[in-house]
Structure formats: structure tokens, C-alpha cells
Chains A and B, each alone.
Chain A
Amino acid sequence: MSLRVSDLRVHYQTLKGEVKALDGVSFEVGDGEILGLAGESGCGKTTLGKSLIRMDGRMRHIGGEVELDGEVMPIGDDRPGMKQRMVMVISTLLDPSLLIADEVTSALDVSTQKAVARALAGFRDNGVVKSMIFITHDISLTYQIADTIMIMYAGKVAERAPAKVIVEAPRHPYTKLLIDSLPEVGVRHADRKLAGIPGGPPSLLDPPTGCRFRDRCPLAYDRCAEEPPAVEIEPNHVVACWKA
């Protein structure tokens, strides 16, 4: 096991109070695995990436732990030892065990994006890095190179499953709606009208109890007032939803 994160909680200090950017996130990344971390703005994906490398001044570690190659990592303000093993900028000399790539291709044109994403996958294939977390807002892109995709919503993990399963047989209503809202080449408005997800994510200053997607979820019912646990409904497929 390359990386194990359990119940990680990281808050942001702001003028208005504490933003609970990460509120109990658990997952593993195996050796040779590329984990695609996807979600919309403010879901906590960048905070997660940052807290695995180096916290910035406004971030505060509240709870949970991170284990890399069996070694527990202290989460604090400065960890020079960590920097050697986890780097944002690729340096093969450092021989990192885990590479975190946060939106590295978002500002690129599609052709360059493809080349960069393939190069990243190549690093894993020829053993330059053991495993990788690929953070992006673009699910179609992460589908191309990730083995496993983890969808985050409002500071929590909504669903984690092999890439193919996330795209073809998602179980969390948020994942389903998100995938359905993506126009693909060839889909025409005149033929098939796609729909977005009404509403917006809750404020993380004072997040609601229970399922955080409840207000936007078409399937929500009484039980959703209680927080759904993350359940492994089949091997490697974790969903946090009462209806999954």
C-alpha cells in the first residue's frame, strides 16, 4: 500500500470563520495506481492535494492521519522529509513514491493536454513514480488515465470506484447527475437536451448535518438527514449514500 489517508480533516482560516474544506476523508492509493480526484470548485480536492504536500499558512490540521509506504506522516506546517517523497513538480532524481498533479493540464490546449496526461501515465508505467493522484475538474480527462476515480463533494468523498465503473455504472446520485451533465462530442442540443444540477454546494463555513448533497438530490428522503457512511458496496467501490 502506497498511501493511506484516514479521516483527514483540514480547515481553512478565513475572516468569516473556519471553512471545513476537508471533513473526514479516507482512501488508499495502491502501488502503481493512478487515483483521479475529481469534483467541482470548492469540493476540497485542491485542499486535499495541498495537505498531502505542505499546508499553507491558512490551513489547519484538525484530525486524521496520512500513512505513506507504511510510515505515518506528521501533518504540520513544514515537513522537509515529506517534500522529498512527494513533489508537485516532477523530478525523477527525487524518485518520488507519490506524485500529486493538481490541475496540471487545465490551462493547456487539447492536443498538449493529451500529451501531458499521457506523459504522466508514462511516469507510472515505467516506474519513475510509484503512484499518482491526478486532480482535475474534468472527468473525461481523468477517465483517460486514472485507474480509480474519486468524486468529492463539499469536503467529503461521495464515491470512489474504478474509472470504468464511475463512468458507466455510478451509484451516487451526484456522480450520476454530474456525468449526465457532460456534453460529449456528437451530442447535440436538438437531439438530446442535457441538464445541469440545480442549486449549488452548501457553504463549508457551517455545513449542514446529514448528506451534504441532500438539497440538490432528486432521491433525497428522510434518512438523508443522517450522514450516510462510506460503504464498500462491491470490491473497490465505495459510496456514501443511503440509496446506493
Chain B
Amino acid sequence: MLRLDNVTKVYKVGAFGGGSLTAVGGVSFDVRQGEVVSLIGESGSGKSTLGRMILGLTPATSGSITLDGVPVKPGKAYYRDVQGVFQDPFSTFNPVFKADRVFRMIKEAYFPGVPEAEWTGRVRSSLEDVRLNPDQILGKFPHQLSGGQLQRLLIARALLLDIKLLVADEITSMLDASTRIDVLNLLAELKARGLGVLYITHDLSLGTYLAERTVVLRSGAVVEMGLTEKVFSRPLHPYTRQLLAAVPRLREPWQDAEPVESCPYHDSGATGGLLEEEKDHFVACARLPECAGRP
């Protein structure tokens, strides 16, 4: 369904755009129908830039992003198929308007002909789909609703369009633990409906909870990807291992992992692409067979 091929984003920096900064360098992966792919990375990994490129909010410098074989072209038609939800629910809503205005915008752009009564019915059932009580939501200003309610409202908005792919960029990082899990479960339900979900996060535990497949990103490049259980039960790249060791867990004190630097090849500039170490498990390590960090 969604396919990224060698996607690169270079920003011009410095006076007169003299310098350049590679935010994303040669990333390729795909998201299939009815699956959640989690894109895991720390700050500066380029994960949000990738999300913005997929949503057509930032053009890619090179490489191709296609949906069902058609190159991404931001515009009305594309956004009927692909939608996004962002990190900060409060800044996603225009503070001077009521929160349900996001539904009105969808109606004006896509369903101008739908009678008012029918539209209200659709909005209400879409809100119920995301476990919100329409009577408590409609007619309220964003600051009168909680972060969890706002994020679910945005998912309801995307559902009105009958999308194929949802890009969820850190959508739970500003939510409380007791409401965060409900939003995650909701994403799992979308998957059951046949949607593809790209779940972008810095939190490995949230990523593993949902995703069939995981892509680990570091400094704009994929270091490891594959089936979630394979990546996490047998992490190959030292960076993945380091990330896993740093995640604070309940009932399990922190273990020390060998730092990434202990891998003699980790910064060797090797761009040999991804190596399929086992079925559905890829790692970016040009010298993997001899790699010192190999388990």
C-alpha cells in the first residue's frame, strides 16, 4: 500500500543556504493494509520528518513515496486516503474555535452535498466509534476537553474520510498513562478495520504493544527493521540493543548494554543497505557476519 523508496530529505542550512543537513537519508520500507508499523527513533532520528513527508506536508528531496503505486501528491484527493494525528492535541486545534470545527472543515471540503442531518449522524457515530460521548464533545472549546479526548476526536475526524492510512506521530506522548492505553487500543481497532497505521514513537514499549512490524531509525537511516517480535527478541544492531536496555521497565532494573561505540562498524560509513539476516528481519550493518556486537 504505502511504499517508501530511498526517501531522502536534505535541509539547506546556514547563510544563503550554503550548508546542508541530511535529516533523512535513503529510507525504504512499506506499510501494508491492516497492519501497524511502528517507526521508532530518538530526537533527531528523522522520524517526524518522515511522517511529514508521507503526509505531503514537506516535500522529499529525492526518492519516492507511493500509495498503491501512485506518487504522493498533497491535495484533496490524497488526504481522502491518508490522514495524520500529531503529538500535541492542544496545538492541533485552533484555540479560537470550537473543537468540532475540524468536522465542519471535512464536510466543507469533501461532503458539501451531504444534508446537515445526515452529516450530524455521521459525526456522532464516528465519535462513538472512538468511544466518545458526542453530547460531551460537540460544542466544546479545545481547552474544555482533555488531551485523550482531543486525540480521539482527531481519529474520529480521520475516520469520516474512510482513509486507508493513518500517520500517528507521537500521539500518546502527551497523554496520561491511564488514558494513553485507550488511544493505543483504538489504533489496534483501526487495524482490524483494514487500515494501515504508521505509528511514530520514541517509546519502544508502546511501539511493540501495537505493531506487526518495527522500523528502528537512527540519524535519518534505518538501522534495523522486521517483524516486531523478531526485532525485540533478537535485536541485531547494537543501537537497537542499547535502546532496549535504556527503556525503563517495571519489575526489571536497568541492565547495562554495550554502548553503540563498541561495534567496530557502527560508524564505518558503510551504506551497504539492509541485510536480511533472517526471514523478515533486516539489519543495517555492512559487516554483520564478523560484527563484534553479534549475539
A185 to B254, CA, bound (A): 13
Query: Cβ of B188 and Cβ of A189 under 8 Å apart?
Result: yes
Q: Which residues of B contact A143 (CB under 8 A)?
A: 248-251
**Binary contact readout B196-222 vs A (1 if CB under 8 angstroms, 0 otherwise):** 000000111110111000000000000
Q: Which residues of B contact A177 (CB under 8 A)?
A: 178
Query: Cβ of B42 and Cβ of A111 under 8 Å apart?
Result: yes
**Binary contact readout B111-138 vs A (1 if CB under 8 angstroms, 0 otherwise):** 0000000000000000000000000000
Question: Given A137-B176, A196-B180, are A185 and B247 also a contact pair (CB < 8 Å)?
Answer: yes
Q: Which residues of B contact A194 (CB under 8 A)?
A: 181, 184-185, 209
Query: Cβ of B180 and Cβ of A181 under 8 Å apart?
Result: yes
Question: Which A residues between 124 and 183 are near B, CB-CB below 8 angstroms?
Answer: 137-141, 143-144, 167-168, 177-179, 181-183
Query: Cβ of A139 and Cβ of B247 under 8 Å apart?
Result: no
Would you give 27 A-B contacts (Cβ < 8 Å), ordered by A? A109-B43, A109-B202, A110-B42, A110-B203, A111-B42, A111-B242, A111-B246, A113-B248, A114-B245, A114-B246, A137-B177, A140-B247, A167-B250, A177-B178, A178-B178, A181-B180, A182-B205, A184-B250, A187-B205, A187-B208, A187-B209, A188-B228, A189-B185, A193-B188, A194-B185, A196-B178, A196-B179
A144 to B181, CA, bound (A): 22
A182 to B179, CA, bound (A): 10
The smallest C-beta distance from A36 to any residue of chain B, in angstroms, reads 11
A193 to B189, CA, bound (A): 11
Nearest opposing residue in chain A for B172, CB measure: A183
**Binary contact readout A192-225 vs B (1 if CB under 8 angstroms, 0 otherwise):** 0111110010000000000000000000000000
Q: Is A41 an interface residue (CB 8 A)?
A: yes
Categorize the interface residue count of chain A.
35 or more
Query: Cβ of B209 and Cβ of A189 under 8 Å apart?
Result: yes
B contact set with A: CB distance below 8 Å: 42-43, 146, 176-182, 184-185, 188, 202-206, 208-210, 228-229, 232, 242-251, 253-254
A contact set with B: CB distance below 8 Å: 40-41, 109-111, 113-114, 117-118, 137-141, 143-144, 167-168, 177-179, 181-189, 193-197, 200
The smallest C-beta distance from A152 to any residue of chain B, in angstroms, reads 13
Question: Given A109-B43, A194-B185, are A182 and B177 also a contact pair (CB < 8 Å)?
Answer: yes
From B176, B204, B244, B254, residue with most partner A Cβ within 10 Å: B176
Q: Which residues of A contact B204 (CB under 8 A)?
A: 110, 185
Known: A110-B204, A143-B250. 20 other contacts (CB 8 A): A41-B176, A110-B202, A110-B243, A110-B246, A114-B245, A114-B246, A118-B254, A140-B248, A144-B254, A168-B251, A179-B250, A181-B180, A182-B250, A183-B206, A189-B210, A193-B185, A194-B181, A194-B185, A196-B181, A196-B182
Query: Cβ of A183 and Cβ of B205 under 8 Å apart?
Result: yes
The smallest C-beta distance from A161 to any residue of chain B, in angstroms, reads 14
Q: Which residues of A contact B208 (CB under 8 A)?
A: 183, 185-188
Query: Cβ of B249 and Cβ of A189 under 8 Å apart?
Result: no
Query: Cβ of A186 and Cβ of B246 under 8 Å apart?
Result: no
Query: Cβ of A140 and Cβ of B243 under 8 Å apart?
Result: no
Q: Which residues of B contact A114 (CB under 8 A)?
A: 245-246, 248, 254
Query: Cβ of A184 and Cβ of B178 under 8 Å apart?
Result: no
Q: Which residues of B contact A117 (CB under 8 A)?
A: 248
Query: Cβ of A181 and Cβ of B181 under 8 Å apart?
Result: yes
Query: Cβ of A188 and Cβ of B209 under 8 Å apart?
Result: yes
